[in-house]
Amino acid sequence: MAEDRENEDHDLKRLHAYVSSIVTALGGIDQADPQRRYILGDDALGCLKDLKKLLRQDESWTCARMLTDTNVVNGDLCEILAAWTDEEVENKTKARYGLACVEPLTLLTWPLDLSSQSLRADQLENASDIQLAQASYKRTILSHPTHGVAVLRSIVRVALPAMAVPRRERTPRDETVILLVLHLLRNLAQIDHGDSEGRSDTIMAFEKANVLDLLVALASGMGEEFEDQDVAVMECIYYLVQGVRAEVLFAADKEVTAKSSNALADLLKKEDAMKKTQKRRAPTRHNRFGTLVSVVTADNKRLTVASQDAVHGTTERGLKKLDTAKKWKKTAFRRIVDEDIDKPVTITREARAVLRRFVEEILDSGFNPLFTSVRRAMEREKQRVLEVHRIHFPYLIAYFLEALRWRGTAAVEAAGGKVAPDVDYGLVAGVLDQLGLIMINKLMRESSDLRQWTDLHAAMDSFQQILLTIQDMAYSPSMEYQEIADNMQSNIFYEESTMDLVVHILKNYTNQSLGYMDTATGLASTMLKMLERYSKSKAHIYVRSWKKKQRKAQNTTTEAAGDSEEEDDADYKKTYSERAFEFARFEGKFANEDCINTYKALLNEYAELKPDQIKRVVAFFHRIFVKRQQESLMFRLDLCELFNRIVEDKVALDEKNPARKELEQFVKYYTKKLTRKLAERPSLFVELLFTKIPKQLYYLDHGEELAPVVRAPRAPAELEVRPGFDRAKDISVLVAALLDEEKGEALDWCKSSLKNAASARQAWAAEAMMRRELEDAERGEELHAPLPEAPIITLNVDEESQVKKLLFKDGKLRLLMGLIGCERLGMSSDVNAEWVIPSAVTSEVLESDLTLLREYTDNPPTFDDGKTAKDFIRYKSKRVERGSDSEESAEESDGPVAEGVDAMGFPLAKKEKAAKSKKKKLFSRKREHKELDDEELEERRAKKRKAEDEKQAAVKSALYVEDSDEDMDDAEFFAREAALREKTANAATAAIVHQQLQPKNKKSKAAADDAIERARTTIAKARAKANAKEDSDSESDGESSGSSSSSSAGELDVNEDAESDVSRSSPAKTPVSVRTYARKPTAVALPVPDDSDDDEPTSTARAAKPKGRRVMMDSDDE
């Protein structure tokens, strides 16, 4: 262990030395310069590339933590970016350095995912230092001490050339550059975005640096000029507006100031009232005199009271003092810790004005393109869409919809009684269409199933704001908007599953955050109000719900093994059914204790609620208690205690609160009803303590037991014998099946009934023949008139026998009765329907059938291949009638719809048959919705976390421009580095010789010139050798010539050697020693490089460039 720790410490020291050497070689402030300009090192561009490589490979965040000690962001990267002024926008060299600085900045400010399951111990150890450093990076970038917002403007300037290129001509590198800048802006907005002061500074800095204009331009061009940047733009907007209430944003400054002052005054008043209340119960100075009183109760129990109040009063006063001293040790209620997206953030007046203009510009030009593009990306499950975007997307939809409504309100107030301009709801039409509603509904359902409460909170808020926007459209003076609102309401309320989902969410509230509970109750109340108003305005409303088909039992009616797969698919088939909507029926779904508990939990936080929230709870209780008349359901002891506590608390809910009057009125009515009910039903004293089931509720309301509901029996499914047999064989199969199920009593009844019917039919035939002969004899001639129609024979069955039940429930017996000529009169669901033998059945047929029954009963048939009678019986399928204009016939049938025909009964083509069969199989695999247990939930969450980590890594790795050095093999790389070290060493030796041989007087000038000449010859030979080796390893990019330019204040001074790569190696090749030659760099003109990062100066250019500060590293291999 000790040896491993020493090796680890040694590796960390080597890595720290390597990182420090790169930062040192990057450049620095020229202390001799009065303007204190930043001077780049010889290989500054290579150093920036090395920083990018280190950070990309830094899985433990160690390099990022080490860079916090080197001040590389504040002292180097920001200085390089700030030196790129507005006058040098077309300078390609500085643009190249700006891009090289943005890449490591994006990595250094990337948000740390501390909630990931794959978080390691070393990452957690470095996280706190990195987060503190990121806050410092943000402050420096947004407001540099000496350059202001110049750094941020340079960052924005990096993306402008790529944005100016048309989309069809834009390369993947251009798309990556734009994404890179957007992610850096996202990082800056996300760092400490919950801090009010930091949010204001971010908004103001973004305004000064034209970042907000950049976001508006990107959002407005989304879908046409941009596509891959939609998610990044949405993230930037989210971290700018989250927590800033739209109501405050569009309110007047005076109104906001007045509300803040009133809120402060109310808090001070509450504090004074609380102090007075505490003083009443606080002990006085006389309490230091001890008093112990023994109190004897009426039932001779002795209690001890340690108080003087028992001495100065009666026994009841002493017992009351004893009760007040008792404390209920209630179990701690812990809410689920999740990200409360409603956490308020207060910003300054200037920042509020800037953010308001930004929100209005997004609404006017960028809302529809941006959110339509994001929705399409989410539908197609693009790789850039992450799990966190399931929160950002619905949250921003809700925010901008609310902002649109508040902007309309502000316009009406600003009009001052004049006609205010109508709200243009077409600005948000991109999320109010059918596809937008489907996406929000999908997010709600999936989040509810996986119990992702923050995602569900955002989705519910979005759906509620959509409903409120539709409600405002319905009251709009424009007839067009009214028609659109009516159409949207019909689409929303047509799906019963959407309304049931709201009820399900409300019922399943447990211990989520207060904001989640407020949104859930607000959504339920909004939907109830809108649906009630909409149902009253329409004569008939229809809703579509799932029609669940009963699964077919695995009994004797199944087919052969070849058809088992189709039967399994049919078991799970679900179809839609349409029915008339009744609002009272839907309202009754809220009349349960789970929904009441959710609203009660919200009212329990009355001290922190606004008047509108308290009124919402009172309105729901009034709906259940008065409108639905579910009084016994709300007669609960916990509700009584809560109402009493609120009424007595005049500090948290004072008399001036608008909601107090409504609450007191409801409590008064509630108490009156409870008192009467207790007098009528004394058993309610006990029921107040417990949960009530429907039977108990019915008894408390009506004073009698609930009569059991007897459901009408359901007729069995129709069966048939598999085709290929004659009538006698069919009868043998059915007789054998009944004998196998030990139903011989029914067969005996059939035989006796046929025997009696045959005798009766023969007697009638004989009598009819005799009557015809007598009539012929009277007439004196034989007319041979036809016999009259035989009477129907009714089969008698004992009411108490088992045969009567089997005649209704057993499908095989009913099929057998049909084969032997019997008919059933009455409805299929009528248990007492009679069985008769029609007139057309002759006695000979009855005798023949009786003979078959006797034969098969006495000698049961056997089947080949070990099959039984049940293998030859199956369900009878019903075909769709031709000319039918409804699908109800197919949906109502007990068997599957005939295949190979369409809904109208016409035969399908082969392709249509295949498509229909495939669609049927896919659809039949869907199972009914059921709650997932904890193990299934955890398994699903683990899969989603793994997929999310992979997406994060893919997004992060695709952000940066690839360099040619990364495609180079190690041998070629180290060969070039060795040549570069040798050349730099020769130049350094020449400089030392030149310094030592400086002429001290005129006499030694000739000797010094000779020494310098010899040194130059040596250096030339070394350079030629190095250049020859370099030319053999890499292509020459041609001579590069530099154009001289004068230096001015704030101008970036770099060396012509800035394009050469810095000496670098992998962490395994970290140098043990670093030698720095501190020679003041020479400010010379910088040659303009090509656009590609792979360009390297030629050997001639390298030899001609003067050398500045350079870091030399000795490798372990040397």
What would the pLDDT profile of 945-971 be if each residue is shown by its tens digit?
A: 667 666 666 665 556 555 534 444 556
Look over the chain and give the mean of its residue pLDDT values, rounded to a whole number: 76
- The more confident residue out of 991 and 739 is 739
- The more confident residue out of 1109 and 972 is 972
Contact criterion met (CB below 8 Å) for 700 and 636: no
Signed CA dihedral, 896, 900, 903, 905: sign only:
negative
Please check the confidence at residue 623 and state whether its pLDDT lies above 90: yes
As a whole number of angstroms, the distance between CA 311 and CA 122 comes to: 67
Contact criterion met (CB below 8 Å) for 665 and 656: no
Please check the confidence at residue 1091 and state whether its pLDDT lies above 80: no
Please check the confidence at residue 921 and state whether its pLDDT lies above 60: no
* Percentage above 70 pLDDT, the chain: 69
Rounded to an integer, the average pLDDT of 637-666 is 89
pLDDT tens sequence across 655-697: 888 899 999 999 999 999 999 999 988 888 988 888 888 888 8
Q: How far, in Å, are 503, 520, 927 from residue 548 at the CA level?
A: 20, 28, 10
Which contiguous run of DSSP H or E holds residue 28? strand 27-29
Q: For strands 873-875 and 835-837, give the pairing.
A: unpaired
Residue 43, both tokens: 């290989």
Contact criterion met (CB below 8 Å) for 631 and 553: no
Residue 1035 burial (CB count, 10 A): 9
Q: Which residues contact 163 (CB under 8 A, 6 or more apart)?
A: 178, 217, 218
What DSSP character marks residue 1087? P
Contact criterion met (CB below 8 Å) for 348 and 200: yes
Helices 172-190, 150-164: inter-axial angle, 10-degree rounding? 150
pLDDT of res. 523: 95
Query: What percent of the chain is helix, strand and coil (3-state, nearest 5)?
Result: 60, 5, 35
As a whole number of angstroms, the distance between CA 229 and CA 185 comes to: 12
* Percentage above 90 pLDDT, the chain: 25
Q: Kindly report the pTM of this predicted structure.
A: 0.70
Rounded to an integer, the average pLDDT of 728-732 is 88
Detail the DSSP E strand segments found in 994-1087.
1074-1077
Helices 496-507, 593-603: inter-axial angle, 10-degree rounding? 60
Residue 681 burial (CB count, 10 A): 16
As a whole number of angstroms, the distance between CA 879 and CA 125 comes to: 71
Most confident option among 247-261, 413-427, 464-478, 819-833 = 464-478
pLDDT tens sequence across 735-792: 888 888 888 888 889 989 888 888 988 888 888 888 877 777 777 666 666 777 888 8
Please check the confidence at residue 116 and state whether its pLDDT lies above 80: no
Q: Backbone phi, then psi, for 33, in 5-degree steps?
A: -85, 125
Burial class of residue 652, CB neighbours in 10 A (0-12, 13-18, 19+): middle
pLDDT of res. 1079: 30
If pLDDT is split at 50, 70 and 90, which confidence band does 601 have? Answer: very high
Residue 1027, both tokens: 């250049």
Q: For strands 293-296 and 302-305, give the pairing.
A: antiparallel
As a whole number of angstroms, the distance between CA 448 and CA 442 comes to: 10
Per DSSP, what are the bridge partners of residue 836? Answer: 794, 823
pLDDT tens sequence across 38-85: 888 888 888 988 888 888 888 788 888 888 888 898 888 998 998 888
Please check the confidence at residue 304 and state whether its pLDDT lies above 60: yes
Residue 343, both tokens: 């956490």
Residue 889, both tokens: 């016939």
As a whole number of angstroms, the distance between CA 202 and CA 214 comes to: 15
Rg (CA), the chain: 44
Which residue matches tokens 């007595």?
A: 648
Please check the confidence at residue 717 and state whether its pLDDT lies above 90: no
The vertex-206 CA angle with 202 and 210, nearest 5°, equals 175
Residue 674 burial (CB count, 10 A): 19
The vertex-813 CA angle with 808 and 814, nearest 5°, equals 60
Q: How many helices (H) and strands (E) does the chain have?
A: 44, 13
Rounded to an integer, the average pLDDT of 904-913 is 41
Q: Backbone phi, then psi, for 1032, in 5-degree steps?
A: -75, -20
Rounded to an integer, the average pLDDT of 248-263 is 67
Rounded to an integer, the average pLDDT of 370-381 is 92
Q: Which residues contact 782 (CB under 8 A, 6 or more apart)?
A: 776
Residue 658 burial (CB count, 10 A): 11
Signed CA dihedral, 950, 954, 957, 963: sign only:
positive
Rounded to an integer, the average pLDDT of 482-495 is 91
Residue 699 burial (CB count, 10 A): 18
pLDDT of res. 1065: 34
Q: Dihedral of the CA atoms 726, 727, 728, 729 (nearest 10)?
A: 50
Q: Dihedral of the CA atoms 818, 823, 829, 833 (nearest 10)?
A: -130
Rounded to an integer, the average pLDDT of 891-907 is 39
pLDDT of res. 63: 87
Q: Distance between the two ends of the chain, CA-based, in angstroms? A: 31
- The more confident residue out of 879 and 62 is 62
- Cα 347 to its chain centre, rounded Å, is 28
Q: Dihedral of the CA atoms 26, 32, 35, 41 (nearest 10)?
A: -20
Residue 699, both tokens: 């008894």
As a whole number of angstroms, the distance between CA 647 and CA 835 comes to: 71
As a whole number of angstroms, the distance between CA 465 and CA 487 comes to: 17
Most confident option among 45-54, 368-377, 562-571, 897-906 = 368-377
Detail the DSSP E strand segments found in 525-634.
542-548, 574-580
Q: Backbone phi, then psi, for 975, in 5-degree steps?
A: -65, -45
The Cβ-side half-sphere exposure at 211, using a 13 Å CA radius, reads 32
pLDDT of res. 1003: 44
As a whole number of angstroms, the distance between CA 666 and CA 619 comes to: 9
- The more confident residue out of 1102 and 13 is 13
Q: Which residues contact 659 (CB under 8 A, 6 or more apart)?
A: 611, 612, 614, 615, 618, 653
pLDDT tens sequence across 1010-1023: 655 665 676 666 66
If pLDDT is split at 50, 70 and 90, which confidence band does 219 have? Answer: very high
Detail the DSSP E strand segments found in 795-915.
823-824, 835-837, 873-875
HEC secondary structure over 344-357: CCCCCHHHHHHHHH
Residue 1066, both tokens: 């992998």
The vertex-366 CA angle with 364 and 367, nearest 5°, equals 85
What DSSP character marks residue 115? T
- Cα 55 to its chain centre, rounded Å, is 31
Residue 714 burial (CB count, 10 A): 12
pLDDT of res. 655: 83
